[in-house]
Amino acid sequence: MTGSAGGAGAVTRRPRHALSAAYVLRKCLSAVLMLVFVVVVNFFLFRVLPGDPAKAFAPRGRNADPEALRELRERLGLNDSWDVAFVKYVKSVFSGDLGVSFSQHAEVTDVIMERFWPTVLLSGTALVIAAVLGVWLGARAGWRQGSRFDRLGSSAAVTFYSMPEWLLGLVLLVFLNRYGIFPARGMNDPRSTLPAWLDVLWHMVLPVTVLAIVYVAEYSLIMRSSILDERRADYLTTARAKGLRDDLVLRRHALPNALLPSMTLFFLSMGFVVAGAITVETVFSWPGLGRLTYDALRGPDIPLLQGLFLVFSAGVIVMNLIADLLMPLLDPRVRAA
Amino acid sequence: MSSTPPAPKSWLTNQSARRPWARLAVAATAALALLGVAAAPAVADGTPAPAASERSKTSFVIGVKQDIDSLNPYVGVVAGAFETYQLMYDYLTTSAAKDFAPEPWLAEKWETSADGKAWTFHLRKGVKWSDGADLTAKDVVYTFQRAKDDETANGQYSSYVDNITKITATDDHTVVMEVEKPSPIMLRLAVPILPEHVWSKVSAKDAATFANDKDVVGSGPFQLAEAKKGQFYRFTANKQHFGGAPNIDELIFTVFADDTALAQALRQGEIDMAQDLPAAIAETLVKEPGITVNDAKYYGFNEIGYNLGAATTDGKAIGDGHPALKDKQVRLAIDHAIDRKTLVTKVLNGHGGPATGVIPPIYADLHWNPGSAERAFDLAKANSILDAAGYSKGADGIRAKDGKALKFRLFGRDSSEYSKQTAEYVRSWLKEIGIEATVSIMSEDNLTVVLGKGEFDLFEWGWVVEPDPDFQLSVMTCEQRSYEEDGEIAAGWSDSFYCSEAFDKLYAEQQTMIDPAKRAEKVKEAQRLLYEDVAYSMTYYYNQSEAYRSDRFTGFVPQPSEGGILAFQYGTHSYRNLKPVTAQAGDADSGSGSGGVVLWVVGGVVLVLLIGGAVVVLKRRSNADDRE
């Protein structure tokens, strides 16, 4: 494929690099702009929440001393006018300081970091398992559309997909825990005699299973429909005509093309991994960001919420950026001309 | 596909037709590995659990429902946090298990001057900090001085120390405090004594964010060994404590975010006690073998509050409360229309009792009730009171007087099912006496704001009452109505805007009475006045359900002795006295199922994976000759 360079016509062919520098720069720039936008919106977003943080986080709660409350409001910066507070906020965010959490009495960055890895461990593992399993199931089902496997698999997928996570979690927890098979809470057992990593793995089994079961449907359904799209394609007829076994036609020819939509979904979900799964984290008392968010809404704990949403948004934006940069490598059709 | 010999590219490039499964597997493995590496710090920061040695310890594990917000005694506000301060540190006095009376603790004895303005505390000798240093009067002086001067510390302890004008150590074991006015609170100074040689290194600036979760130096009956925020807090017994060596080696608080999981963990034996279970869930545990459910009296009461004429402390009227509620006859009628028995049986499932005085019966010495003079549930009487007061029914069945219909806004709280149900019941009873109530449910934070502005007629809420009655009574003083600040109305403690000279006088009198019996008289009188004025319509006192493994642990000390609570007390009575049922602490088969089972299961899972992997590999081999 040789092409004359520098043509102005729309159909002129040029040597194509998967990623042009301009494309990368454009994508990075828009990611940065989005982040800045999030930082700004963040500030206003949580100031419209009702409630009185000072009252919620004062010692003795409802019994707080009015005098102490006045001092606390001053200290928390709740008395600042909007513009003063905004300037303060922007300055501190860009110097990497997210402030002090009202409810946890610690630096927001520390509070979030403490909960960050447990959440990534839980949702990330579940996501990878769900993607692998879902792709496999969906591909099988789509390839043999209408077979028993397809009918059973798809209806099971839809059933679990529409099931509330917490309900599934509770049912599994109560049922299995009854026989002492899995622990009922958290990430570690303070009385465990197992090595630490095994203990964590052991505590992960149930919540990861629940999340994976719920996520799997997304992948299997998307995969199934993209396999259905590919099934009648000419290149598959060619492959079949070469005398390849049906199985190989699926694996070597149909699958790579059909995988692309799932890839996109995977990266999108990856962005949401840091946000954790509030309901599952709650049922299994998992020390993650999802539960932290839920707790932070009480009050509201404005600095913590701001920090959390910044992290969540950054997660999604960064993962989208990665997806944007990978897609041209994976799929020639989306390459920038 | 392409016939050019492909340069080895990464699996992500468009070598599209080469073994997608293998690529996917590699991708998955890579992702998992990444996650593993990423999560490693989270996993590895726990001390690797030493095998076997752990087993020889007796650990008592309590499941709690709220994470501890901070182990730093200057900033934590949740009940669990105060529990940890009681474990790690000592106080001058403690509250007796029997009846909450002040008891010697760090202070062996004390005397007060004739005018009640100077208090001398004699400290116990030979008390040591966990790092071996002596605890002396210097530490006590430091602690109180810092609670007065340091902004953060004062935010937490102002109610105890603001009345103290001067605090000095006359020798190593004697502390003298001078106070502005005599106060019985001097025997309930719930300020944990901190080691000066540690806390003097924590600057005023750091005090607000100091975590105090590592190498804590304390003198209390249990010392912090390990803190994992959001998960668990492990304390080891201080066997040298002057209160006697605890019988257990470890006390662990584990945090649960879900009630069902909490109950299940107790059934399973993952924990030994569940603190504060909802009644409905606690009832499912009653029949379980080896589990005892303690339906304990609690410190709280709930009420239907009235807008008695919202105003600021300087008497300026605020808000938009219905004027009819200033009429005592209307409140009397409403009070007669509340069927407390139904509330107790239907809302609390019987776990509580009808309420009268604002000091709950758990404080037997201070609690007041009208006895036979208690206002009964009587709709006919309520109706006749309103008739007599001139509120006549209109065509729509709603009473009115001077053209103003009795239509009230009634607020409930979304955080409590009990609150929603109570509000609904009250609404239906009010309908029976010709009053229309519109229920709205909102969050406690929002309701605080609404109450402070006086923009309500009726609400449902409750208070948790401390052993010292001072605070609970102060809520009803004129002083605690809302105040104005830069044109903004801010709420005081008062939620009803009750303001009565007679009550304020009683309040002020009890505040300076040091003789408990005399003071109790005044406190009861104040409660009687509130009841007669119908300042609140008291609804119920409620119980708290705790459940524990009675097949493993015994020796709990309830507070108070009669039907009291076992955990989260004023003091550490239960923790210091509970002991394992069997003499052999060693073979307490506790923990998450026995480790053996776990290993078998994990082994099984690994085996299945290996076999599955082998099958796949073999299958691939057999297909290998199918290559194009």
Please compute the mean of the pLDDT values over residues A113-141 and round it to a whole number. Answer: 91
pLDDT at B628: 42
pTM of the full predicted structure? 0.82
Is B18's pLDDT higher than 50? no
Q: Return the number of other C-beta atoms located less than 10 Å from residue A11's C-beta.
A: 6
Cβ of A170 within 8 Å of Cβ of B261? The answer is yes
Per residue in B85-105, pLDDT (tens digit) is: 999 999 999 999 999 999 999
Q: Please check the confidence at residue A66 and state whether its pLDDT lies above 70.
A: no
Residue B50: the pLDDT is: 38
More confident residue, B558 or A96: B558
pLDDT in tens, B520-559: 999 999 999 999 999 999 999 999 999 999 999 999 999 9
Lowest mean pLDDT among B64-73, B233-242, B446-455, B456-465: B446-455
Give the pLDDT of residue A194: 79
SS3 readout for chain A:
CCCCCCCCCCCCCCCCCCCCHHHHHHHHHHHHHHHHHHHHHHHHHCCCCCCCHHHHHCCCHHHCCHHHHHHHHHHHCCCCCHHHHHHHHHHHHHCCCCCECCCCCCEHHHHHHHHHHHHHHHHHHHHHHHHHHHHHHHHHHHHCCCCHHHHHHHHHHHHHHHCCHHHHHHHHHHHHHHCCCCCCCCCCCCCCCCCHHHHHHHHHHHHHHHHHHHHHHHHHHHHHHHHHHHHCCHHHHHHHHCCCCHHHHHHHHHHHHHHHHHHHHHHHHHHHHCCCCHHHHHHCCCCCHHHHHHHHCCCCCHHHHHHHHHHHHHHHHHHHHHHHHHHHHHCHHHCCC
Question: Model confidence at B416, in pLDDT bands (50, 70, 90)?
Answer: confident
- Please indicate whether, in this complex, the C-beta atoms of B445 and A55 are within 8 angstroms of each other: yes
Query: What is residue A179's predicted lDDT score, i.e. its pLDDT?
Result: 78
Distances (CA, A) of A317 to A19, A116, B158, B541: 19, 17, 46, 52
Binned at pLDDT 50, 70 and 90, residue A3 comes out as very low
A221-235, A323-337, B314-328: least confident range: A323-337
Across residues B15-43, what is the average pLDDT? 46
Classify residue A196 by burial, with Cβ atoms within 10 Å: 0-12, 13-18, 19+. Answer: middle
pLDDT tens readout for residues B275-287: 989 888 999 999 9
For the stretch B206-261, pLDDT in tens is 998 899 999 999 999 999 999 999 899 999 999 999 999 999 999 999 999 889 99
Q: Which value, to the nearest 10 degrees, does the dihedral of the CA atoms of residues A237, A239, A243, A244 take?
A: -130
Q: What is the pLDDT of residue B4?
A: 40
Burial bucket for residue B210 (CB in 10 Å: 0-12, 13-18, 19+): buried
Please name the helix (run of DSSP H) or strand (run of DSSP E) that holds residue B472, with its range, or none. Answer: helix B470-474
Q: Is the pLDDT of residue A16 over 70?
A: no
With CB atoms and an 8 Å threshold, state whether B19 touches A252: yes
pLDDT at B269 over 60: yes
Rounded mean pLDDT, B349-375: 93
Cα A247 to Cα A239: distance, rounded to the nearest angstrom: 11
| Residues B575 and B301: beta-carbon distance below 8 Å | no
Give the C-alpha separation, B564 to B624, whole Å.
74
Which residues, numbered 585 to 624 in chain B, qualify as contacts with chain A under a Cβ-Cβ cut-off of 8 Å? 590-595, 597-599, 601-602, 623
Asked whether the predicted pLDDT for residue A42 surpasses 70, the reply is: yes
Residues of chain B contacting A55 with CB distance shorter than 8 Å: 445, 448, 491
| Min Cα separation A206/chain B (Å) | 13
Selecting from B154, B491, B595 the residue whose C-beta is nearest the C-beta of A194 gives B595
Mean pLDDT of B355-361: 95
Given a cut of 90, is residue B331 above it in pLDDT?
A: yes
Nearest residue in B to A175, CA atom: B264
What torsion do the CA atoms of B366, B370, B374, B375 make, to the nearest 10 degrees?
Answer: -90
CB contact under 8 Å between B601 and A117, yes or no, is no
The CA distance from B78 to B507, in Å, is 28
Instruction: Give Dmax over CA atoms of chain A in angstroms.
Output: 86
Q: Which of residues 6-35 of B touch A (CB under 8 A)?
A: 12-14, 16-21, 24-25, 28, 31-32, 35
Q: Which residue of B has its CA nearest to A300?
A: B445
Q: What is the pLDDT of residue A67?
A: 66
Confidence label for B456 from pLDDT (cuts 50, 70 and 90): very high
pLDDT at B600: 58
Of the ranges B62-66, B186-190, B227-231, B606-610, which one carries the lowest mean pLDDT score? Answer: B606-610
Q: Which pLDDT score, from 0 to 100, does residue B587 have?
A: 42
Terminal Cα-to-Cα distance of chain A (whole angstroms): 15
Q: B155 or B426, which is more confident?
A: B426
pLDDT digits (tens, 9 = 90+) for B369-409: 999 999 999 999 999 999 999 999 988 999 999 989 999 99
Shortest distance, CA B282 to any CA of chain A (angstroms): 15
Report the phi/psi class of residue B293: left, alpha or beta, with left for phi > 0 and alpha for psi in -120 to 50. beta
Q: How far is the CA of B165 from the CAs of A21, B119, B160, B181, B514, in angstroms?
A: 72, 11, 11, 10, 18
Partners of residue A173 in chain B, C-beta under 8 Å: 260-261, 264
Q: With an 8 Å Cβ cutoff, are B31 and A186 in contact?
A: no
Rounded to the nearest 5°, which phi and psi values hold at A193? -105, 5
The per-residue pLDDT of chain A, averaged, comes to: 82
* pLDDT at res. B601: 56
CA dihedral B265, B271, B273, B279 (to 10 degrees): -10
Least confident of B277-281, B335-339, B527-531, B619-623: B619-623
